Amino acid sequence: MHYTLLQLNQLIESTLAQVFYGKTFIVLAETSEIKKSGNGHYYFDLIEKDGQTLLAKMHAVIWKSASPVITNFENTTGQKFERNLKLMLKAEVRFHTAYGLQLQVVDIDTSYTLGQIALQTQATLQLLVKNNAQHITLADGQYFTTNNKLQPKGLLKRIALITAVNSDGCNDFLHEINNNVYGYSYNVTTCYALVQGNEAATQVKQQLHYILINHKQFDAVALVRGGGSQTDFNAFDDYDLCAAVAAFPLPIIAGIGHERNVSICDLMCYKSVKTPTKAAAFFVDFHLHAEQQLDNMYNRFIANLDRNLINRNNNLENLEQDLIFYAQNVIDRQQHLHDKFEIALKHLNPEKVLQRGYAIIKKNNSIITESTKLMPRDLVQIQLKDGIKEANITH
Amino acid sequence: MKKLNYQQAYDALQRLIEELENDASIDLMPGKIKEAMQLLQICKNKLRDANDALEEAKNKSEEN
């Protein structure tokens, strides 16, 4: 007895149906070789490996009718549905006589993937801190990098814009910065790179390298992507790219379009915003803030100068008053002495003395002040206030 | 009198006043008072120049 292949497959189909029909299984597996058919079905392989050793492999399918599962997965996780993803799937086992055994996926557990991404992100961050201690430190849950600790001097006018050619993100950035309400002008140099897909991290790194070599031509870097899908941000979690961003000597402003998640690149760069438009607005705000600071500084300078001049003027007025006061003092003191001398001299004038009742006695025209100088029978002259009389000394 | 800046003139003026405060010789006083008045004038002129410049800056700032 023999079976035709169809008969054998029908036997397998019915046998498997007895065990698997109507049952769903939660399966942990890795994606491989994904193909999307023209009619909207996703065909791929699911594998399980131990290191490089393949332990299990099975074809899988997500029919077009179940494809919202993929849209939901990508929107929730920010992760493109692609090969090499470790997923937790809800699937049914199907056997088709023409196509063989396959898993028919009906749902993908997004929370499992988010957990995996978080674990992977955490591992990358730990490695970055460990291997780049001179550029990245972790303190109180915050990452401090050479780049986000930069303190730009002057305005950020010469911008190297890393973006995808002709992308909405590029156009949004340029439109916002060239049409800012304050009329500030900027010199933007576009440095094109893929910003999603497997090549993105390498190309962005190459552009950073170019900017680094020519860093004297630029004040800052804008790294933007946007307008595309909300998936495939893997490039911005790339270890090498994030290490380069952390150590970069010019401020990097990232507007890479995450709506839900924060990439490692966002944590390493000078400033992270959600969209290219907001990245452009950052430069305008930075300029506005610098201008306001300058105005404040000028006003403070004027106010200080004003105060300073008032103080000096007051000091000078005080000195002028002191000058007059002390000079007057010296003159007054001297004048007072003169007055005292004058009074003393007046009192000593002999005429004034005679008027008070005193007399001057002279002998031979010499004033006699001592009684021992006079002898009996001496002739003396007595001068009184109104004339002179002669007299003899009797004894 | 050699060309003095504001601070030099101010300090010299202060010194002269201290001398007067400590009873200067009356013979030297006319000379000292004359010198002090010259120093005072230097300070006043420099202060006036600074004030004029400040007023000009304020006016320009208001125009902007």
CATH of the domain at A79: 2.40.50.140
- Once rounded to an integer, what is the mean pLDDT over residues A55-84? 89
* A228, pLDDT greater than 60: no
**pLDDT (0 to 100) of residue A65:** 93
- How many domains, in total, are found in chain B? 1
- The answer as to whether A229 is a domain residue is yes
- Mean pLDDT, chain A, integer: 90
**pLDDT (0 to 100) of residue A306:** 86
**pLDDT (0 to 100) of residue A304:** 87
**pLDDT (0 to 100) of residue A68:** 93
Considering the domain architecture, whether residues A366 and A260 belong to the same structural domain is answered as no
- The answer as to whether A149 is a domain residue is yes
**pLDDT (0 to 100) of residue A229:** 55
Of A298, A309, A313, the CB nearest to B61: A298
Which of chain A's residues have a Cβ under 8 Å away from the Cβ of B43? 316
Is there a contact between A323 and B33 if contact means CB atoms under 8 Å apart? yes
Considering the domain architecture, whether residues A125 and A83 belong to the same structural domain is answered as no
- How many domains, in total, are found in chain A? 3
Domain endpoint, select from A254, A269, A287:
A287
List pLDDT tens digits, range A346-385.
776 778 888 888 898 999 988 898 989 999 999 999 999 8
**Would the ipTM clear 0.90, i.e. be above it?**
no
Which of chain B's residues have a Cβ under 8 Å away from the Cβ of A306? 54
List pLDDT tens digits, range A259-315.
656 889 999 999 999 899 999 999 999 999 988 888 888 888 888 888 988 998 999
- The answer as to whether A269 is a domain residue is yes
Considering the domain architecture, whether residues A98 and A122 belong to the same structural domain is answered as no
Tell the residue number behind the tokens 């610098």, with chain if given: A290
Q: Which residues contact A134 (CB under 8 A, 6 or more apart)?
A: A146
Which of chain A's residues have a Cβ under 8 Å away from the Cβ of B24? 330
> Domain of B24?
6-63
Q: Which residues contact A245 (CB under 8 A, 6 or more apart)?
A: A145, A147, A208, A223, A252, A254, A265, A268, A269
* A158, pLDDT greater than 70: yes
Closest chain B CA to residue A296: B61
- The answer as to whether A104 is a domain residue is yes
- Once rounded to an integer, what is the mean pLDDT over residues A82-105? 92
Is there a contact between B13 and A306 if contact means CB atoms under 8 Å apart? no
Considering the domain architecture, whether residues A260 and A175 belong to the same structural domain is answered as yes
Considering the domain architecture, whether residues A254 and A384 belong to the same structural domain is answered as no
Compute the nearest-CA separation of A327 from chain B (Å).
Answer: 6
Rg (CA), chain A: 53
Is there a contact between A319 and B10 if contact means CB atoms under 8 Å apart? yes
Considering the domain architecture, whether residues A150 and A215 belong to the same structural domain is answered as yes
Considering the domain architecture, whether residues A104 and A142 belong to the same structural domain is answered as no
Residue contacts between A and B (CB atoms, under 8 Å): 57
List pLDDT tens digits, range B28-49.
888 888 888 888 888 888 888 8
- The answer as to whether B1 is a domain residue is no
A156 three-class SS = coil
- The answer as to whether B50 is a domain residue is yes
* A227, pLDDT greater than 60: no
CB-based contact, B24 to chain A, within 8 Å: yes
Binned at pLDDT 50, 70 and 90, residue A326 comes out as confident
In this structure, the strands spanning A379-384 and A387-392 are: antiparallel
- The answer as to whether A55 is a domain residue is yes
Cross-strand bridge partners of residue A137? A144
* A344, pLDDT greater than 90: no
Contact (Cβ atoms closer than 8 angstroms) between residue A189 and residue A160: yes
Pick from B11, B20, B62 the residue to mutate for testing the A interface (most A CBs within 10 Å): B20
**pLDDT (0 to 100) of residue B1:** 67
Considering the domain architecture, whether residues A88 and A165 belong to the same structural domain is answered as no
**pLDDT (0 to 100) of residue A281:** 96
Which of chain A's residues have a Cβ under 8 Å away from the Cβ of B16? 323
**pLDDT (0 to 100) of residue A7:** 94
Tell the residue number behind the tokens 């009906």, with chain if given: A106
> Domain of A79?
5-108
Alpha-carbon distance of A307 to B32, in angstroms, equals 31
> Percentage of residues in chain A with pLDDT exceeding 90?
62
Alpha-carbon distance of B14 to B36, in angstroms, equals 9
Domain endpoint, select from A82, A108, A134:
A108
- The answer as to whether A334 is a domain residue is no
Domain endpoint, select from A80, A108, A136:
A108
CB-based contact, B28 to chain A, within 8 Å: no
Instruction: State the DSSP string of A51-87.
Output: TTEEEEEEEEEE-GGGTHHHHHHHHHH-----TT-EE
